[in-house]
Amino acid sequence: MASRYWVVSLPVQGSATASSLWNRLQEQISRHSFDTPLYRFNIPNLRVGTLDSLLSLSDDLLKSNNFMEGVSHKIRRQIEELERVTGVESNALTVDGVPVDSYLTRFVWDEARYPTMSPLKEIVDSLQGQVTKIEDDLKVRAAEYNNVRSQLNAINRKQSGSLAVRDLSNLVKPEDIVQSENLMTILAIVPKYSQKDWLSSYETLTSYVVPRSSKKLYEDNEYALYTVTLFRRVADNFRSNAREKGYQIRDFEYSSEAQDSQKQEQDKLVQDQENLRSSLLQWCYASYGEVFSSWMHFCAVRIFAESILRYGLPPSFLSCVLAPSTKSEKKVRSILEGLCDSTNSAYWKSEDDVGSMAGLGGDGDSHPYVSFTINLV
């Protein structure tokens, strides 16, 4: 599937017809750029309206196109991010089951949703309104998912970070802690390379430390977690002396209820995250199709309006879609230009040479025909 397409309209001049011009274009592409896919872009007879309304509409065409393209890319990136979490490759993006590239290259106007007798501005406003609503929904849904994900990440960081800051409840068992009227157990965070010093000195940091009571519970890349049992009345003195020696004393109170509650909260967040991820992913696939359909209908309006403004009335032009490779672009441009009026072509080329006119194509390039680019990714 190509990721970039040109939507082009060529003027039908003199005694020529759209069909004869199409045959000439096919022949030229086949002869000089055979690897360039070429398709008719079928646009219905839309309501022209007044020149003022067309000019007013044309002022916002590029801005509206960029907006719709931007929303489609946001949803596609969201799909990729959600699929990456599970390591699953993204499914093909579709519009009502039709792959997006096929929907573009075999575009059919939806008369039921967008009556061709409606004013062009009304159609564009309707399309833009639909895409705006979907973008707003995406923000709300993504924020809800990311909020749960952030909460879960915060819990995981607490459980997997350095011993200096992480939650210790899943490292300490009930049998590691002594709690009585006179005795208590303190948890010490000892630098990894100071463990020998700790074991040789902890009993002397204060009086009334239970001999040989220090036990290593866990070790990471920087620190080791030790217990030490002592009399309650000397606990503050022990803390103070331990800190002077570079050991960190972590306050900890074992509670099976708190551990169970924390585990339940984490399990609930894991389930909520998966439910929201699945729901958001399903919504994104459906909404991408909606946005892409709206965007292609907008492109049809855009090519129609710009063609009227470029070539005049009555509407007489051939619209098509091409997907040239990078190396074929210059040749294809030359073919398209050759099918336009030579006088018109020379005018646009001279304007392009002096850089004084960007043309009505909207992509910043000057051509003697209407042309703009659709980027699928």
Q: What is the pLDDT of residues 122-154, one digit of tens each?
A: 999 999 999 999 999 999 999 999 999 999 888
Question: Residue 164 pLDDT > 90, yes or no?
Answer: no
Residue with tokens 């292609």: 296
d(Cα 98, Cα 103) in Å, to the nearest integer? 6
For 227-252, give one letter per residue: b (16+ CB within 10 A) or e.
Answer: bbbbbeebbeebbebbeeeebbbeeb
Helix (H, G, I), strand (E, B) or coil at 16: coil
**Mean local confidence (pLDDT), 67-75:** 96
Strands lying side by side in the sheet with 317-322: 38-40, 317-322, 4-11, 370-375
Q: For all residues of the chain together, what is the average pLDDT?
A: 88
pLDDT band at residue 272 under the 50/70/90 scheme = very high
Asked whether 54 and 355 are in contact (CB, 8 A), the reply is no
In this structure, are residues 326 and 344 in contact, taking their beta carbons and an 8 Å threshold?
no
Whether the CA torsion 258, 264, 266, 268 is positive or negative: it is negative
Residue 359: predicted pLDDT: 40
Model confidence pTM above 0.75 = yes
How far, in Å, CA of 281 to CA of 84, rounded? Answer: 11
Could you read off the pLDDT of 280-313 as tens digits, one per residue? 999 999 999 999 999 999 999 999 999 999 998 8
pLDDT category at 365 given cuts 50, 70, 90 is low
